[in-house]
Amino acid sequence: MIVPMKKVLIFALAEERDAALEALRDLGVMQITLSERLSEDSRRLAEHVESLGRTIAAFDRLSAGGADEPEAGGSGKKSETEISGLLEKRAALLAESETIGARLKNLAVWGDFDRKLLDKLAASGVRVIPCLGTREEFAAACEMENIHCELLRAEGRTRLFAAIATGPVDESRLPVFKLTAADDPRALRKRDDELRRKLEQIDAELVRRRPELAALRRRHAELAAGLEFCRVRDTVDDHGQIDTLAGFVPEPELDALRARAKREGWGLCIDDPAPEDNVPVLIRHGNFYTRIIQPLFDFLGIVPGYREIDVSGGVLFFFTIFYAIIVGDAGYGALFLVLTVLLGWKFRRDKSKRPLVALLAVLSVATIVWGALSGIWFGVQRGGIKALTDPAVKDANVQLFCFVLAVAQLTLGHTWRAIRERSWRAVGGNLGWAMIIWGNFFLALKIIVRPGAFPVYMYYLYGIGLALVVLCSVRWRDPAAIFQFPFDVIGSFTDVLSYIRLFAVGMAGASIALNFNSMAVDIAKVSPYCIVLGVIVVVLGHGLNLALCVMSVLVHAIRLNTLEFSNHSGLTWSGTAFKPFRKPNNTEDK
């Protein structure tokens, strides 16, 4: 359920600004409508929070493999200073190493030369000038006085040579390869080895200090909370002796806010949100069943609009079925269930992970049930019911079931939309669209599943449905809406057809598993020594198929809920989650 919100304006004495903000943060029931203005303190703190976030990300990546047990106590500030110093030193050493590597690559064409010997020869009057030029430039250099040219390498028209000068020479006539004072391959390699040793020491130190990651994260959370406090303080409007602060509060929390306001001496102005207000959305699930779909919404980063409907229960029901059909293998479902149990054991003390574990368990069990009914266990046909295993009818039955899911979900979407909009036009228009969808359902059955004559009632569904939509749903004063109407009708048919993707993707996954099994058996039959190779093919093949199944779920099962279903139910997913001004250790009741 989407919790109703109230728009609240708080009045407090200006001299008690910080105390009032602390009390409001301690209460933790109001989301503040932040302004764009930033004080210098907020700007500096924001830069600090961002910098520490980068430090934590780099430290987490570079210290992977170290012990994760947090240190008892420990100063996050001290850890930040020391870890940041190590990372900065590492970055400087790495940059120097990359510079040296690039220079050594440029010098590689000359091989391993002794720079000290070249300098010693130059001091004695014999200069060795490295040159890189064309064939003609090499020939011209050979004709110059006081120069002996030694060809080192020839590639096409390019000549790499050393010009040995025993007297005065006009170097501007030579294609000189400039060497700086630091271009000593041996010294550069020695320095590079030294840098690599230092980098290895720093990396080892970062791994050793992995337990300090928890302290860094705590400090980041504290700084982020401090930044939020500063942002809220910047948002306060100053009216002389009175300050005001605006935001949104869930209706069930108003009594707590009134009691705190009475104790602190605040004034309150409470009103309904205006249509143009960007109202945050707080979803409170009535039971654990609807709560377990929340991890999927969090993963996708989607929230229904404040004036839309909470579709958690419907999405969970249909997404579970879509998932089971797409994966479609009871063996895969059993494997996922084992992994889910292990994940649940790992996070047994973390209550925030329980909805995720429950969601994975529901999806795994549903996959086992569908796979068992279809008789598919790791690509092997065993058991199952006749309706889903008989080659003569199984494809048609699965296609029929996909279209049943389509008409059920899309009809549910229009029903919810009519209930939400609450007008006779909305009821008539959505009833008309639902009848068109049912007409599309019978049309799809007769075209794809069981070809034959179209039933008479299909025409009645289309006729009455189109009449209701024309009367109640089409905006006749909008030429664009009139032009779009025929395409909407066609689109409703393609939306129903879109659900056939469940059958196609599920069948593709089963075929891939079957083919890998057959390939492994054929390999094993060649020789007893090939059995191991056959096992490897099976393991790799099913691993690839599992990955493809997960990708298919992300593409197809989610699409059907967030596109086709959302379009028909009027969902835009344009909401923003409710984030009250509160201390970091407060927990939000979902």
Structure confidence at residue 70 (pLDDT): 65
Q: Is 451 part of any domain?
A: yes
Query: Do residues 160 and 175 share a domain?
Result: yes
Q: Is 170 part of any domain?
A: yes
Query: Do residues 354 and 403 share a domain?
Result: no
**Full residue range of the structural domain in which residue 42 is found:** 5-63+210-271
Q: Which CATH number is 39's domain given?
A: 3.30.70
Query: Which pLDDT band, with edges at 50, 70 and 90, does 589 fall under?
Result: very low
Structure confidence at residue 72 (pLDDT): 52
Structure confidence at residue 586 (pLDDT): 47
Structural domain ending residue among the three candidates 459, 476, 498: 498
Q: Is 9 part of any domain?
A: yes
Query: Do residues 426 and 367 share a domain?
Result: no
- Comparing 267-271, 277-281, 482-486, the range with the smallest average pLDDT is 482-486
Nearest to 153 by CA among 176, 179, 133, 128: 133
Query: Which pLDDT band, with edges at 50, 70 and 90, does 129 fall under?
Result: confident
- Comparing 15-19, 513-517, 529-533, the range with the smallest average pLDDT is 529-533
| Alpha-carbon distances of 103 from 188, 246, 448, rounded to whole Å | 9, 60, 67
Structural domain ending residue among the three candidates 435, 463, 498: 498
Nearest to 441 by CA among 380, 383, 388, 492: 492
Query: Which pLDDT band, with edges at 50, 70 and 90, does 260 fall under?
Result: very high
Structural domain ending residue among the three candidates 244, 271, 298: 271
Q: Is 101 part of any domain?
A: no
Query: Do residues 467 and 398 share a domain?
Result: yes
Query: Do residues 300 and 381 share a domain?
Result: yes
- SS3 sequence, 219-277? HHHHHHHHHHHHHHHHHCEEECCEEEEEEEEEHHHHHHHHHHHHHHCCEEEEECCCCCC
Structure confidence at residue 133 (pLDDT): 87
Structure confidence at residue 150 (pLDDT): 83
Query: Do residues 405 and 481 share a domain?
Result: yes
Q: How many domains is the chain built from?
A: 4
Q: Is 199 part of any domain?
A: no
Query: Do residues 359 and 406 share a domain?
Result: no
DSSP label at residue 553: I
Query: Do residues 379 and 298 share a domain?
Result: yes
Beta bridge mates, 269: 9
| Alpha-carbon distances of 562 from 75, 400, 409, 410, 590, rounded to whole Å | 45, 22, 12, 12, 22
Please compute the mean of the pLDDT values over residues 268-282 and round it to a whole number: 91
* C-alpha span between 493 and 416 (Å, rounded): 20
- Comparing 126-130, 211-215, 486-490, 542-546, the range with the smallest average pLDDT is 126-130
Query: Do residues 324 and 376 share a domain?
Result: yes
pLDDT at 450 over 60: yes
Structure confidence at residue 71 (pLDDT): 60
Q: Is 260 part of any domain?
A: yes
Query: Do residues 13 and 39 share a domain?
Result: yes
Query: Do residues 138 and 266 share a domain?
Result: no
pLDDT at 236 over 80: yes
Asked if 74 and 217 count as a contact pair (C-beta separation under 8 A), the reply is no
* C-alpha span between 297 and 320 (Å, rounded): 14
Q: pTM to 2 decimals?
A: 0.77
Structure confidence at residue 242 (pLDDT): 92
Asked if 210 and 68 count as a contact pair (C-beta separation under 8 A), the reply is yes
Q: Is 255 part of any domain?
A: yes
Q: Is 454 part of any domain?
A: yes
Nearest to 20 by CA among 231, 260, 235: 260
Mean pLDDT of the chain: 88
- Comparing 176-180, 260-264, 362-366, 483-487, the range with the smallest average pLDDT is 176-180
Structure confidence at residue 480 (pLDDT): 83
Query: Do residues 366 and 442 share a domain?
Result: no
